[in-house]
Structure 1
Amino acid sequence: MAEQPVVTAAPRPYVVRVHRRSAHERQPQHPYPQPQARARPAPQATAPTPPFNAPAARKLRAALGMKPEHVAYGMRSSYGLPYVTPDLVAAWERGAASPTGTELTALAGVLWCSAGELISSPRTLREHRMAQGIAAEDVARAVGLELASYLGMEETGEWRGTDRQAAALATVLDLTLPELTTVTGRETKLGELLRGAVTTRWQAHVRPITRLLALDRHLDRQADRHLDRHLLEDVLQELHADYQGLMAATLTWANGTAATDSGDAGRDFLDGIVDRFWSLVRRPTTY
């Protein structure tokens, strides 16, 4: 059989259709959201600030051989606070502004110190907690309170816990008896009782003050001894004698100016009686 020639058709060209997008056509969305630039956090007018110790911050920075520029850079790069500038650091050190709690923590980290070293003598419950660097959740747990309840006490400055919880609070925040008296809102009542003790019969005020301070449960660690009933009686008797002696001098001085000066001294005595009371409590005993 004779071989037949095989005829093949010429290959057709392969055409790729290209769609040209109109200028008004909507662009396809990217499957993943693009990162957004982080905005500077808005200042919170209601955010509490601890009592900042500006001279201490300046002294610590100088001791490290740092300038405000170095401090600001460290807070920006290591603590995620991009808005901190050398001018802001300088304003803190001048006392023209105070750092927030977050800024204070970052500043302490840059200056290689504790937050407590950058805080002036704390007075409120929140200030004592921040000075110790303890989270509110940890304090509430140690004291036996719900977090919301504890934060409410910090906000209002009104302590509503029991004596047992107050003792736990003193332990976790390392409070002395005078500090505990202040943060639990008992200082005003203590002042009233002390003024009554020096102006009338001091013996009648021993029991109310004992109950107020719960002296059988708390230890004044700064004095390193219990403020027991016997010590309280001695202190009240001495305060009474000092005040009555001051008032007796007023009656014996006939000169009007001298009497006025003594009267002013008596008012000053009563105004500062709480501090006088604690200074006598902490005075070393000789027996």
Structure 2
Amino acid sequence: MHRRSANERQPQHPLRQPDSPTLALPFNAPAARKLRIALGMGPEHVAYGMRSSYGLPYVTPDLVAAWEYGTIAPTSPELTALAGVLWCSAGELIGVPRTLREHRMARGLAAEDVARAIGLELSAYLHMEETDEWRGTDRQSAALADVLDLSLPDLIAVTGREAKLTALLHSAVTTRWQAHVRPTAKLLSLDRRLLEDVLQEMHTDYQGRTTAGLTWTNGTAATDSGDSGRAYLDRIVDHFWSLVQRTTTY
């Protein structure tokens, strides 16, 4: 029977240095394991490289294996070191980025470089990353999108406007869509005629879903329209961007 080597076993209690950073990025564990195997390395080789070349003396084979099993995720410094040992970019080891910090790391950029490019003091920029609250101006937001190569949906998300967009879209499909064109255009800086078409289509789609399931059984109205409507609302932002993308290359 084939047995895992001691270095490949699933770790029970991987330990991280107590004073190391704890904030982790979305980690693509399968990609890390695939890259390591392709290089002919074991977890012990990766751990040694991170200890000797990147000043992380606490990294053990068990910790590397824990990352690959998805038990825990590496912190930002650990991810940078892991990418160096595996001869890849940090972006190749990151899952789908969601926050400002994750997008920066996925691009392999230093915080200093991003802060300089968008015209912010480093301390102010780092505070925005740590609190996940964007406080930049419109000009700085545009510069941020440029330096991180953000799509409009990503920019709206990392600058904290997605919650407001969700609320506007909910109201647009459940009430009068016409009343929500202007505030949505102001929030997103999109063409009003485009938004008129998109919001009208979404309103029609949602209203159709909430009435299409209506049936009658023994004279009693029975409907699954509520479930259909809730499912639509749960993914309303995705529906919106899909329609926008279909119409224009934002």
**Two-structure CA RMSD over aligned residues (Å):** 2.1
* Residue identity matched to 1:275: D
For residues 138 and 247 of structure 2, the distance between their equivalents in structure 1, rounded to whole angstroms, comes to 27
Identity %: 73
Asked whether the 8 Å contact 1:163–1:214 carries over to 2, the reply is: no
Deviations 1:157-176 (A, max 9, x none): 11111111100110111111
Q: Where does residue 108 of structure 2 map in the other structure?
A: 133
**Structure-2 separation of matches of 1:253 and 1:177:** 41
Q: 109, 113, 116: which one pairs with 2:91?
A: 116
The aligned counterpart of 2:12 is: none
**TM-score, L = length of structure 1:** 0.75
Which structure has more RCO (C-alpha within 8 Å, separation ≥ 6)?
Answer: 2
- Work out the CA distance in 2 between the residues paired with 1:137 and 1:165: 15
- CA distance in 2 between counterparts of 1:129 and 1:241 reads 38
Q: What residue is the counterpart of 2:238 in the other structure?
A: 275
Unmatched 5+ stretches in structure 2: 1-15
Question: How do 1:1-287 residues align onto structure 2 when only pairs under 5 Å count?
Answer: 42-44=17-19, 47-215=22-190, 228-250=191-213, 252-255=214-217, 258-259=222-223, 261-283=224-246
Count of residues paired in the alignment: 232
Deviation track 1:31-67 (CA, whole Å, cap 9, x = no partner) reads: xxxxxxxxxx943476421111111111211222222
- Give the deviation of 1:246 after TM superposition: 1.0
- 1:9-34, CA deviations, whole angstroms, 9 ceiling, x for partnerless residues? xxxxxxxxxxxxxxxxxxxxxxxxxx
Task: Indicate how the Cα distance of structure 1 residues 101 and 273 shifts in structure 2: closer, same or farther if over 3 A, else same.
Answer: same
Relative to 1, partners in 2 of residues 1:196 and 1:96: Cα closer, same or farther, differing over 3 Å? same
Conservation of the 8 A alpha-carbon contact between 2:165 and 2:237? yes
- What TM-score does the superposition give when structure 2 sets the normalisation length? 0.86
More displaced 10-residue stretch of structure 1: 73-82 or 114-123: 73-82
Question: Greater CA radius of gyration, 1 or 2?
Answer: 1
SS at match of 2:216: coil
Greater percentage in helix = 2
1:15 maps to none
Q: Distance in 2 between matches of 1:186 and 1:273?
A: 14
Structure 1: gaps (5+ residues)? 1-40, 216-227
